[in-house]
A = this chain, B = another copy of it.
Amino acid sequence: MSVIIGQKEYFKGIEKIKFEGVDSDNPLAFRYYDENRVVAGKTMKEHLRFAIAYWHSFCGDGSDPFGPGTHHYPWDVASDPRQRAADKADAAFEFITKIGAPFYCFHDVDAIDQSNDPKEFASRVQYISDIFAKKQAESGVQLLWGTANLFSNERYMNGASTNPNFEVVAHAGAQLKSAIDATIKLGGRGYVFWGGREGYMSLLNTNMKREREHFARMLHTCVEYARRNGFTGKFFIEPKPCEPTKHQYDYDSATVIGFLREFDLLSEFGLNLEVNHATLAGHTFAHECQVASDNGMLASLDANRGDYQNGWDTDQFPTDIYEWAEAMAIVLRQGGLAGGGINFDAKRRRNSTDAADLFYAHVGGMDTIARSLLIADKILTHGEMDKLKAARYASFDSGKGAEFEQGKLKLEDLYQIATEIGEPALISGKQEYLENLLGRFV
């Protein structure tokens, strides 16, 4: 990948970020992420498939519910929407190539201003995706996934695909069509559904059953359209329990998998799991990953972290090697992410107003995850942890335990067996031992 600068260099004074190793004192160098280093049979680049999120990094202005934006972007000044979009693309690909991420992700409205006229908006998306295509070709950067923003426009205030008003559902469909078209054109590896308004503010005015059915209907409609038009990637659903709604239908891994199974959508979909959404749902990130992996649905990750003392989606950059080492071990065990990558759905703090802060943030995030991959690899190579876990279940690998698994025992048989074997010995779960073992590799 080569750094590409557009009409203007936006991040002057910052060169391509290099790997310098753990002893480096350079805050603008990688200490762990060495894209060509081979771990468990693949390069780090192939394992991690890092992607930059267009929205936070090139659109997010630092606003929060108590104040407007603090990040003022030099690429966000032209008055013509098409020109502004092109300038932003210049900045984006400059950053992506300087940081050295092989992928990026975007919502339609990140790329170019929305228009309430579906035709005009489709034309704008076409315009900017042509530019993206050229940038991709020039740089070697690829599209991890595309998506449509069906939550910001005021028309979606009561839901998009789950809006009680069919007219809004039609507009959601229109936007989905154009975003899918762009994703196909750009060779996106996946297409993501995140249903920010697909939930309810109050049960008093909501028919949850009908709304969920509409959501499933829209997913089927999109799959049919995308496949017919040559999309060969994966569809992803990104669970989140709440915010901006009180309750969002794609609550967590288990809920989404249940939904996909109910509406016969399992085979086309995988999950895109976000750390902060896991913790908002009351789960560890590892839990969400394991649930998905157990179902063959762990496909892609949104990298960030939440704040355990704050109850909203803080989307901070990842820093915790425990959190990520456990996740990467699950990914390694299943042989890699199924179709997706690791996308930085993370934003600088509102008061991180230097241009360099965007680089620090991503350098820290990429290093955290690269280091965690190394830890996970050490855990699996060492092997004791997985061996101990497997050994706990050995009684089901043969004999009566195996017969139980195969459904050959009746309840009377279990009663009979229990009577014969007497009281089983207590077998320690060895949790502290295993925590120490994990700590050894961290």
Contact = CB atoms under 8 A, between A and B. Distances in A.
Given A157-B351, A410-B225, A428-B357, A152 B66 contact: yes
* A contact patch SS: helix
A167 to B, nearest CB: 4
Contacts of A313: 65
A214 B201 CA distance: 38
A247 to B, nearest CB: 6
Interface residues of A, number: 156
B436 A360 contact: yes
Nearest to A180: B411
Interface in A182-232: 196-197, 201-210, 212-214, 217, 220-222, 224-225
A442 interface: yes
A162 to B, nearest CB: 10
Interface stretch (A90-98, A138-146, A393-401): A393-401
The quantity of this chain's copies bound in the complex is 4
Contacts of A131: none
Contact of A118 (B153, B360, B419): B419
A137 interface: no
A215 to B, nearest CB: 12
Interface string A409-433: 1111111011101111011111111
Contacts of A412: 177, 225
Given A155-B426, A319-B438, 13 more contacts: A70-B154, A167-B421, A174-B418, A177-B411, A202-B431, A205-B429, A214-B404, A255-B258, A284-B308, A319-B439, A349-B431, A352-B432, A363-B436
Interface string A256-295: 0111011000000000000000011111101100110010
Interface stretch (A45-53, A81-89, A320-328): A320-328
Interface stretch (A9-17, A35-43, A238-246): A238-246
